[in-house]
C-alpha cells in the first residue's frame, strides 16, 4: 500500500464501532433468499467472502410481508428469517467483519402480485412512470398505489421497530434505514410523490415526519449510534426527483444531525440516474449541515473515493458493483491488483446459486 492510499485504509471510529478501513460494501439486492425469503448458507458464504470491508450493509430486507416488492429478496419478519440471518451474521463475524441490516418497505415500487392482490401503498396515489415491475410472472406494468391513511402510518412505523428488534436478535452490529430510491420513506420525503394535505404532507417539515418517526422507533431498540440512514437527493430511480430537492434534503440532514447517528449514507454519485433538476448535491453540501460520520456512494472508483476521503468530504465510501465480482476488493485496492471483469448482469438478480454470486476468483488464486 502506498502513501496515496493511506486515508482510505485508515481505521475509522464510527461512533462506538471501530472499523478497520473506510471501504464499505454497499447494499445490493441479489435475490438468493428463495421463495420463502429466508437467508441461507450461500448468502452466508457470499457475505463472509467480503468481510474485509470496513463495514457491510446488507441487501434491502423487508420489514413485513406487505413491504415486499422484489423476487426472492430476504425479509426479517418471521422466526425462520431471523434464524437465517443469524447464520449470515455469524459467518461475517467469524471472518472478522461487521454488518448492518438495511430495512426496507418497497411502497409504490411493489406490485399487487407480491401483496396477495392488495394495492401497493405510498404517500400519495401517484404511479411510477417507467417500464414496469419484475415479478414472478414476468415484467408487469406499474400500478397506481393507494395513499396510506394517517392512522396506518403508525402501524408501519411499528413494523420498522419490530424488524429492528429482530435484527438485534439475529446479532447484527446495527441498522440502516433505507429512505432512498423512491421506496416508501422516500415517497414521503419528496414533493414529487407526496401531495398530501395532512400532517405528513405539504411542508418540508411534514414530509420528513414519517422518517423521523421511524428513526425514533428504532432508537427505542438500538442506540442511535448504531443506526444509519440512506438518502438519494440526486436520483431519478423509480421516477423520482423533486424541484425542491435541495431544501428538502438539507432539512432532512439537519434533522438527522440531531440524533447522533452511526452515519448518514448519501447516494451522491450520478451513476444510478440523475433527475437534472439543478446542480447535484455533493457530499460537501451535506458536510455543511451533518457533522457525524458521512458516507458517499454510487459510481465511485478507487481514485475518486480516495479523493473524497483525503479532502474530508466523506469519512466512508460504499462500493456496490465492484464488490459483486471482487470478494477481495479491499485487498485488491490495497495492493494495486487489477479487478476481475464485471459480473454478467443476467446473474445479478436471478436465483442461480453460486454462479455470478460466490464463484469469483480472489487474487491469491489467480
CB atoms closer than 10 angstroms to residue 216 = 13
CATH number at residue 193: 3.20.20.70
C-alpha cell at 231: 438518502
**Inter-residue contact 193 to 126 (CB < 8 Å):** yes
Give the torsion through C-alpha atoms of 186, 188, 189, 190, to 10 deg: 90
CA distance 337 to 122: 45
DSSP string, 290-337: --S-EEEESS--HHHHHHHHHTTS-SEEEE-HHHHH-TTHHHHHHHTP
**pLDDT tens over the chain, length 366 residues:** 344 445 899 999 999 999 999 999 999 999 999 999 999 999 999 999 999 999 999 999 999 999 999 999 999 999 999 999 999 999 999 999 999 999 999 999 999 999 999 999 999 999 999 889 989 888 999 999 999 999 999 999 999 999 999 999 999 999 999 999 999 999 999 999 999 999 999 999 999 999 999 999 999 999 999 999 999 999 999 999 999 999 999 999 999 999 999 999 999 999 989 999 999 999 999 999 999 999 999 999 999 999 999 999 999 999 999 999 999 999 999 999 999 998 887 888 777 678 899 999 999 765
CA distance 302 to 5: 9
C-alpha cell at 352: 442461480
CA distance 104 to 289: 25
**Inter-residue contact 60 to 178 (CB < 8 Å):** yes
**Catalytic (active-site) positions:** 183
Number of domains in the chain: 1
Which of these, 327, 331, 263, 250, lies nearest to 291 by C-alpha position? 263
C-alpha cell at 296: 458517499
Place of cell 425479509: 75
Structural domain range at position 168 = 3-365
DSSP string, 139-156: EE---PPEEPPHHHHHHH
CA-only gyration radius of the chain, Å: 19
Amino acid at each position: 500500500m502506498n502513501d496515496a492510499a493511506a486515508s482510505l485504509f485508515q481505521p475509522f471510529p464510527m461512533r462506538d464501532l471501530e472499523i478497520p478501513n473506510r471501504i464499505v460494501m454497499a447494499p445490493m439486492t441479489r435475490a438468493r433468499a428463495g421463495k420463502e425469503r429466508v437467508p441461507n448458507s450461500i448468502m452466508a458464504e457470499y457475505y463472509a467472502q467480503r468481510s474485509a470491508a470496513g463495514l457491510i450493509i446488507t441487501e434491502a430486507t423487508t420489514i413485513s410481508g406487505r413491504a415486499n416488492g422484489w423476487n426472492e429478496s430476504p425479509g426479517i419478519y418471521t422466526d425462520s428469517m431471523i434464524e437465517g440471518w443469524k447464520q449470515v451474521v455469524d459467518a461475517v463475524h467469524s471472518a472478522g467483519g461487521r454488518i448492518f441490516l438495511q430495512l426496507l418497505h418497497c411502497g409504490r415500487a411493489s406490485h399487487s402480485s407480491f401483496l396477495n392482490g392488495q394495492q401497493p401503498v405510498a404517500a400519495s396515489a401517484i404511479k411510477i412512470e417507467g417500464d414496469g415491475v419484475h415479478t414472478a410472472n414476468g415484467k408487469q406494468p406499474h400500478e397506481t398505489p393507494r395513499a396510506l391513511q394517517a392512522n396506518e402510518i403508525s402501524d408501519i412505523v411499528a413494523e420498522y421497530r419490530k424488524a429492528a428488534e429482530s435484527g438485534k436478535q439475529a446479532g447484527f452490529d446495527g441498522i440502516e434505514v433505507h429512505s432512498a430510491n423512491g421506496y416508501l420513506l422516500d415517497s414521503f420525503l419528496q414533493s414529487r410523490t407526496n401531495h398530501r394535505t395532512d400532517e405528513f404532507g405539504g411542508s418540508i417539515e411534514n414530509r420528513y415526519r414519517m422518517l423521523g418517526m421511524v428513526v425514533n422507533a428504532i432508537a427505542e431498540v438500538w442506540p442511535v449510534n448504531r443506526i444509519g440512514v440512506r438518502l438519494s437527493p440526486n436520483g431519478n430511480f423509480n421516477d423520482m426527483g423533486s424541484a425542491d430537492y435541495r431544501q428538502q434534503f438539507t432539512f432532512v440532514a439537519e434533522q438527522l444531525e440531531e440524533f447522533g447517528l452511526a452515519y448518514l449514507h448519501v447516494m451522491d454519485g450520478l451513476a444510478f440516474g440523475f433527475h437534472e433538476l439543478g446542480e447535484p448535491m455533493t457530499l460537501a453540501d451535506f458536510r455543511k449541515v451533518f457533522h457525524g460520520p458521512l458516507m458517499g456512494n454510487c459510481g465511485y472508483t478507487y481514485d475518486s473515493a480516495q479523493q473524497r476521503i483525503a479532502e474530508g468530504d466523506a469519512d466512508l465510501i460504499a462500493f456496490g458493483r465492484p464488490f459483486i465480482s471482487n470478494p477481495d476488493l479491499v485487498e485488491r485496492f490495497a495492493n494495486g491488483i487489477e479487478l476481475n471483469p464485471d459480473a454478467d448482469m443476467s446473474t445479478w438478480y436471478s436465483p442461480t446459486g453460486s454462479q455470478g454470486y460466490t464463484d469469483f476468483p480472489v487474487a491469491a488464486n489467480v
